[in-house]
Amino acid sequence: MNQKARWIKHISIIVLYIMAQLIVLPVALVYMIMNQGQVDEEAVTRISLIANIIGFIIALIVIGILFIKIKAPFDFEIKYRQPWLVSLGWLVFGVVFAYITQIITSIINTQVLKNPMQSENTMEIMEIAFQYPFFILIVAILGPILEELVFRKVLFGEIFNALKINKYVAFTIAFLISGFIFAIAHMDFTHIIIYLGMSFVFSLIYVMTGRIIVPIIAHALMNTIVVILQFTFKDTIKDLEQFQELSNLIFYFFI
């Protein structure tokens, strides 16, 4: 019964995540129909971003209700569940370790794999955020929550829980698969190793605490710090190319 209930909850989370991402399409279509095909690109973008935020909020509300109504934790969540104070320590460790991992994987990505330093995904997101600051709500808060629920709680959790083999092997398989899917979802194929590195860190602190809230907060903190730094230094560093290289080297992974 618990497994069936968990599957219902997790499939619902994935569906809600996809709907939150795609809600902009019907909204933009309705807008263009109402304006008889006359397209104001700025108005369409603004309306689409607002619809995106509303979609994310609605999805999170429904998911919250699902978590309240359906309590079906994984075996490893029960086994490894840590007190809140210990979990706080893992949270701090996770944020620091994630930044170290970013630096190492970004160096490997550029120097060994010869991929470009700039992440198109990151730069596109920041361009939107600079132009429409309210979009930061998705970048810093709503996005990380939904992404951790989908890619860590559902994908990683289901795979790790289902593999009845050596726990280290199971962990490796689970974080690699969920990390690859995470990269594919972001359409950022030249930076897959960065996504895998973050998948490892967030999956690690999830398992070590048995609490999905820990990687959620770590992910949101990292995105928030990146946004603050990008906004702070955008006016003080005149050489945009130098700024992009600096921000991508130190704060490479941005979701």
- Among 185, 180, 193, 176, smallest CA distance to 252 is for 193
Annotation says 147 is catalytic: yes
d(CA 193, CA 199): 10
- State the residue for tokens 């618990």: 2
Helix intervals (H) in the chain = 2-22, 24-34, 41-69, 75-80, 84-107, 120-131, 136, 143-147, 157-162, 167-185, 192-209, 213-233, 240-250
**Phi then psi for 237, rounded to 5 degrees?**
-105, 110
The CA-based angle 221-222-224, given to 5 degrees, is 65
Exactly one of 147, 148, 158, 245 is catalytic; which is it? 147
CB neighbours of residue 235 within 10 Å: 7
Query: Could you list the active site residues?
Result: 147
